Structure 1
Amino acid sequence: MRRVLCVQRAYLVGLLLTLIFPPAQAQSIPFEGANVILITTDLADKEAYLVAGRVLTEQGILFSAGDDCLLITLPVNTGESGKKTEFVGQLVVNAGLVKLTGTMQSPNESVSNQPIKVTPLSIGYAKDKRKPLLAQEGFLYLNEIAKKLRRPLHGIISYKMQVLSTEETTGN
């Protein structure tokens, strides 16, 4: 009888742990392919947005307020003469979790009378130096923003890999 109870208890504990910690959980340090930065907060969503806006303003980081997010835009010097690249980041607060994502965007050359197309490149952490430099640069910039936000938001930073839709990364 005792053995049956132990087996049942072990099963219930295992089941509980799989529900609490899903396989796609975030990690506390950046890892290969991480493209989302999360910060926990004990602040209400509106208050977290206000704190984030204040910190970004104090740091001289340009941003605009969207319907449900803060959009961070920064021109980036790529070293290539005449080529303009822009970091576009998005900060979303939802139920005590601040989510930071972003892309590096550079316009393609226009052909005759056709409009210029913008090619977004999702940011991401890479240990391999052969990976796209702009993606890594964008991730490191967003990580610096997260570090500046962590203390005022009373939070903990974690990293996650997620397939992002174009809407999430461009703020459309």
Structure 2
Amino acid sequence: MHAMQYEITLPADYDMGIIRARVATKGHLLDDFPGLGLKAYLMRERGPESVVNQYAPFYLWAAQDGMNAFLLGAGFDGVVRDFGRPEVQHWTGLAFEEGPASTSVARTAVRRRHLVPETAALPDLLAEAVAETRRLSEAAGVVCAALALDPRRWELVHFTLWNHETPRTTGDRFQVLHVSQPNRATLASAAHR
């Protein structure tokens, strides 16, 4: 499993209705994309919850060839054409867990990132992070939870989809506009546990 996200920060006065319309008309195009486990079409609106307007899709890839086909093909070309080429963050997937609300529509995503301390014993730290993902996935309202690692920066990212708008957890909050999930059922087996 591979996790990926790009964040497109938009002007403070940008009409975020444009992003909603974009996802409403184009979001379904990845509903059967080969190799894609899950794509959450995310946005943040400037206001009490966010200091920026941002379009920030988050992907969980079940197969690397699907990720490569997207990034190097027509799928990503539309993003580049409309917004320029964003920096794509990439993490190696470590865990994926379905939650008790797994059949619900996701409304909110929470992303929590933190750097791995240089002095940390990696096997122990990663085992605890996987266990934390499992515990988090058991909370009421969780659709699914994932854990990934960027070994370039030694950064862990916890990504959780919720079926309500006010989860009691810390991290960057995003509104979920749509979820494409053609190979979601394969993500747990694709994670590098």
TM-score bracket, shorter-length normalisation: 0.3 to 0.5
Q: Which structure has more strand as a fraction of its residues?
A: 2
Q: TM-score, normalised by structure 2?
A: 0.33
Bigger radius of gyration: 1
Q: TM-score, normalised by structure 1?
A: 0.36
